[in-house]
Amino acid sequence: MDIFFYICLFTYGLLFGSFSSVIIHRLKSNEKGICSGRSHCPKCNTTLKFYDLIPIFSWLSTGGKCRYCKEKIPYIYPILELSTGTLFSLVGIFLIDVNLIFSGNISEIIRLIFWLSISFITILYIFYDILFLEIHEGIMLSGVIISILGLISNDLFINIIPHIGNTINNNITVFISIIFTIISIGFLYLIMLKELDIKYDILIILSIITGLIAFKYFGINLSSISIINGFTAAFAIFVFFYLQIVLSNGKALGGGDLRIGIMIGLLSGISLSFPAMMLTYIVGSIISIMIITYQKFIQKNKEILNVVPFGPFLGIGFLLTILFQNHILNIIEIYF
């Protein structure tokens, strides 16, 4: 039954991967009906039939070309579909108890839906950044909102993010934490939208630090309340990225990376945020070296590509951390 479940997740992932390519291009082109309307070839505008939309197989059957105008379809699209299918399967393998799913456990079903949603959004921003070298605001806002809802559920209803805090009964403290987090993230978005002078950015950052210190002063363990745990990590990553942007005059990172950092921090929490960042830079270094080596020695380009999207590295580092969190937490416990 386990294998059947993973195959089902892989199949759903292929379908959602195909759907994600539609979303990505409609977001970029500002086309109406992002989740509705018939799919069409962007070159000849021919409405695609159902057999043109079968993940992987449609691409293979046409030799990687449009069936109607013969325009070449880039390899990135079947890679997108396979990546989503594989990721959905890995979520089932590493984050979900299959026996609880088949027994109809509501908490486990909600946990599955939550992590598949997070995985889908991660795939969206990774491939959007690869294709267009930017991060779409709508994708990241959806990710942040879903992450906050997951943390609220952790504190009040169902523990769907086990590595962050525990469900507690002190609802007043939780509600104060929720309000503080939502307001603070709102102010961080003001910084990201570049509506304020840098002195006000610094004032906001210092105010949030003061708020977190106040929680600690009143005896509230920042790691025991899920939403504060997640926000503390998100804020730390935000400040780390913000300093890089300021010091490099915007050349090192962009505003989209700040948004991804908030989402990663919310879901990684205090215990996993550092490993997530460490894996991000390790993955980024390895892939960047491979790209430079390929361009220099295989393609023999004199001009090396100097613009590499950082979003995919963030996404991959985050996914590796979440999927292998038990191994990472064991290593941290043993050596630190």
Tell me: the pLDDT tens digits for 136-187?
A: 999 999 999 999 999 999 998 888 998 886 655 567 889 999 999 999 999 9
Distance CA 254, CA 242 (A): 9
Q: In 3D, which of 50, 49, 78 has the Cα closest to residue 63? A: 78
Supply the DSSP symbol for 162. Answer: T
- Say if CB 127 and CB 20 are below 8 A apart: yes
The predicted structure's pLDDT at residue 43: 74
Query: Is residue 35 within 8 Å of 120, Cβ to Cβ?
Result: no
Going through the chain in order, the beta strands assigned E by DSSP cover none
> Looking at residue 68, what is its pLDDT?
81
Q: If DSSP codes are grouped into helix, strand and coil, which group holds residue 281?
A: helix
Stated pTM of the model: 0.93
Q: Residue written as tokens 């950082």?
A: 310
Buried b (16+ CB within 10 A) or exposed e, 160-176: bbebbbeeeeeeebbeb
Distances (CA, A) of 121 to 10, 27, 54, 84, 151: 16, 13, 21, 10, 17
User: What confidence tier does 67 reach under pLDDT thresholds 50, 70, 90?
Assistant: confident
**So what's the pLDDT on residue 35?**
65
Predicted confidence at residue 300, as pLDDT, reads 64
Longest dimension (CA), the chain: 67
How confident is the model over 224-235, as a mean pLDDT?
Answer: 95
Distance (Å, whole) CA 263 – CA 329: 20
pLDDT at 303: 58
Question: Residue 336 above 70 pLDDT?
Answer: no
> Which residues, including other chains, have CB under 8 Å from residue 117's CB and lie 6 or more apart?
146
pLDDT of 323: 96
Q: ∠71-77-82 over CA atoms, to 5°?
A: 145
Residue given tokens 């730390």 in the structure block: 236
Structure tokens at 322: 């979440």
Taking all residues of the chain, what is their mean pLDDT, rounded to a whole number? 89
Residue 54 has pLDDT above 60, yes or no: yes
The per-residue pLDDT for 32 is 72
pLDDT higher than threshold 70 for residue 66: yes
Q: How many CA atoms lie within 13 A of 292 on its CB side?
A: 9
Phi, psi of 72, deg, nearest 5: -70, 135
Whether the per-residue pLDDT at 46 is higher than 80: the answer is: no
Location of structure tokens 């889908």: 120
* 144: exposed, middle or buried (Cβ count in 10 Å: 0-12, 13-18, 19+): buried
* Amino acid 52: pLDDT: 74
